[in-house]
Amino acid sequence: MNIKKIFITGGGGYIGARLVPYLLKKKFFVSVYDTFYFGNTLKKNKNLKVIKGDIRDTKKLKKHCKNHDIFLHLACISNDTSFQLNEKLSKTINFDAFEPMVIAAKDSNIKRFIYASTSSVYGISKKKNVRENHKLLPLTLYNKYKGMCEPLLIKHTTDNFEGVIFRPATVCGYSPKMRFDLSVNILTNFAYNKKIIKVFGGNQLRPNLHIQDYCDVVLRLINAPSKKIKNQIFNVGNQNMSINNIATLVKNTIQKKYKTKIEIIRTQSNDNRSYHINSDKIYRVLKFKPKKNIKDAILEICEGFEKKKIKNSFTNLNFFNVQKLKKLNVR
């Protein structure tokens, strides 16, 4: 039996730190190509190859992605405020490097290219069910470039080079490489450690996705038949909730489990992104349905604190993309 070989850009980040061990357990061979700006938590494994590299170095990337079946593109300067830090850096990584990377993968005889876009490409929408054909109305450059990359992948697909795009909701839950600049994770960090939740705005609507469900959908896209996924775009989310409601859920969950009192403080926000996504298509086509929810994410992050797997959650810069990039002065 031939083991599928998967090449993952950005495989050392928040998602990758949970996804890569999961894929290794599923008996895949995995190559991770990452700058490791935020550290490396991946443990050695005979079926894991780790390459330190920048996706803007197309020559190096092409050299290492040869002899793989699947190309999964996760690498990006994530978080909208990252663009405020260094717009040129973010554009070169999130947009300029994309098409050369797709061409490199195609020229290396990769069979399937999976692109992790984002549901935030929708920007603001009052529709209760934003589907994949909804007009893209990005509010930030991060969202704009994520959306602009999508047709560039489709442009290069052929019978021998498949492309599939998924637009995940805001991810939440525990990872060996945590991020505390994502809504549920931020609120849980404050509630558990400070007994205070700071809510900026609150009426904004957000779709959410547990990190394990993210891993499961990637596995589904790896194994899906070509006819079901080729040139397709899939929303992937679970609970659509307002920031206010997420804060209340965090508060109630932690208060109940730890018999403590949590205070919610609300203030103004200039983050106007607000949308609810509909994920019926991926269930209809691939029978994928999320198994986890926001409460699961809250509890497993709390468990991470309890077991001392997460330390210095307010001061460790590896948990905060913008601050770490600023310190490194990455260009």
Positive or negative torsion for Cα 193, 195, 197, 198: negative
Three-class SS of 133-149: CCCCCCCCHHHHHHHHH
The region that residue 110 occupies, defined by phi over 0 for left and psi between -120 and 50 for alpha, beta otherwise, is: beta
Report how far residue 285's alpha carbon sits from residue 229's, in angstroms, rounded to the nearest whole number: 8
Q: What is the pLDDT of residues 180-224, one digit of tens each?
A: 999 999 999 999 999 999 998 888 888 999 999 999 999 999 999
The reported pLDDT for the residue numbered 178 is: 96
CA torsion, points 116, 117, 119, 122, in degrees to nearest 10?
-170
pLDDT of residue 50: 98
Residue-wise pLDDT for 128-137, tens only, equals 789 999 999 8
- Distance in angstroms (rounded) separating the CA atoms of residues 313 and 179: 9
Across the range 241-262, mean pLDDT stands at 96
Q: Which residues pair with 34 in a beta bridge?
A: 52
| pLDDT value for 79 | 66
Element spanning 162, H or E: strand 162-168
Q: What is the pLDDT of residues 262-302, one digit of tens each?
A: 999 988 877 777 778 999 999 999 999 999 999 999 999 99
Burial 210-226 (b: 16+ CB within 10 A, else e): bbbbbbbbbbbbbebee
* Amino acid 80: pLDDT: 58
pLDDT digits (tens, 9 = 90+) for 77-123: 886 555 566 788 889 999 999 999 999 999 999 999 999 999 999 98
Mean pLDDT of 302-310: 97
Residue type, 92: T
Share of the chain above pLDDT 70, in %: 97
For residues 64 and 275, the model is more confident at: 64
Domain assignments of the chain as residue spans, ordered by start: 5-175+208-240+273-294
pLDDT of 240 > 80? The answer is: yes
* Average pLDDT of the residues in 232-250: 95
Question: What is the mean pLDDT of the segment spanning 28-34?
Answer: 98
The arithmetic mean of pLDDT across residues 246-255, rounded, is 98
Q: Which of 12, 2, 19, 109 is nearest to 54 (CA)?
A: 12
Average confidence (pLDDT) over 22-30? 98
Torsion angles phi and psi, residue 133, rounded to 5: -90, 5
User: Both tokens of residue 331?
Assistant: 């260009």
Structure tokens at 233: 């775009």
Asked if pLDDT for residue 1 goes beyond 70, the answer is no
As assigned by CATH, the class of the 5-175+208-240+273-294 domain is alpha beta
Instruction: Express each pLDDT in 149-174 by its tens digit.
Output: 999 999 999 999 999 999 999 999 99
Q: What percent of the chain has pLDDT over 90?
A: 79
DSSP reduced 3-state for 266: strand
Contact (Cβ atoms closer than 8 angstroms) between residue 212 and residue 292: yes
- pLDDT band at residue 322, thresholds of 50, 70 and 90? confident
With a cut of 50, say whether residue 125 has pLDDT above it: yes
Q: What is the pLDDT of residue 146?
A: 95
Distance CA 71, CA 156 (A): 14
